[in-house]
Amino acid sequence: MSSRFFESSDHTKLYQQYRAQPPQELIERILEYLRSKYTGELELALDVGCGSGQNTFSFAEHFKNVVGTDISPNQIAIAADVSSQMSLKNVRFEVSPAEEINLETSSVQLITAAEAAHWFNLPKFFQEGLRVLCPGGVMAIYGYVFADLIWERNPDKNDALAEYYKSVNIGEPLSNYWPPNNTNILFKRYSNIEIPYSDFTREDFKYNKVRYLKLSSFFGEIRTWSGFQRFCEVNGNEAGEDVINDFRKRLLDIIGEDLDLEEQKAPDDVVIKAVTPFFLLLARKSFEENQ
């Protein structure tokens, strides 16, 4: 069964607001890989562990129908609400574990899992994926670990920012609060996972999501981390805010001298560049599988 995180109402709202969407080049690569051997109609895509739908919506224009599933009712409620606001008639969302897909055998051309597969029971997920994929259909698993922070006003500070961000995400006080799913799988960029289908391929550091974030959004994304959420569960939200304030102070110690007086008064409005490198795993159900 899938592990259960990102389920509280407050956490799902943070997740929807701050998590990075996959870069368009990665989405195009997945479609190219699918189309390289599959020539039929693109009837149905399935996004597993869809969260609040950021990845799901990327495929709405390419498939007749798209289904997003997640184990969290709160995530699905937010995803369905966003879909309604976007007037996407061909997208629907369902509460479902990754290991039990409520779709017909050989009915799906594409299965995706973005920043989610490390929470799954992978052998069962792969088995169920093989069942619902049509011959020639594709499974794509992808995600990211952490961004590279770039201070364009003074690039000489980028090395210090790299050390800072490393200490934030794997140093004290969060280092002891990351679930094993993160430390054993995600932090290794899925290098220890293979999709057991045909034509397996792995691509890493080829697809970058570039964002310009206010510091308020940067710290908002930290609040979505499972390690931070677990820290707050154990130590309380006030202790969590103390951690954020410490992270803010340490960041401003690096870039603060480059800020003007107005920015010093409202540092959370300062914008920093974040480059997030994604990894991508692809594989295909063989055409002989159902014959």
User: What's the rounded Cα separation, in Å, for the pair 83 and 54?
Assistant: 10
List pLDDT tens digits, range 40-93. 999 999 999 999 899 999 999 999 999 999 999 999 999 999 999 999 999 999
User: In the predicted model, what is the mean pLDDT of the chain?
Assistant: 93
Number of compact structural domains in the chain: 2
For 247-281, the pLDDT digits (tens) are 999 999 999 999 999 999 999 999 999 999 999 99
Using alpha carbons, select from 99, 94, 104 the residue that is nearest to residue 123: 99
126: Cα separation from own chain's centroid:
19
Q: For residue 290, is it within any domain?
A: no
Q: What is the DSSP string of 239-270?
A: HHHHHHHHHHHHHHHHHGGG--HHHHHSGGG-
Is 289 among the domain residues?
A: no
Give the range of the structural domain holding residue 160, as residue numbers without chain letter. 148-177+211-273
pTM over 0.85: yes
The H or E element that residue 177 is part of is none
Q: State whether 111 and 51 are in the same domain.
A: yes
Are 160 and 102 members of one domain?
no
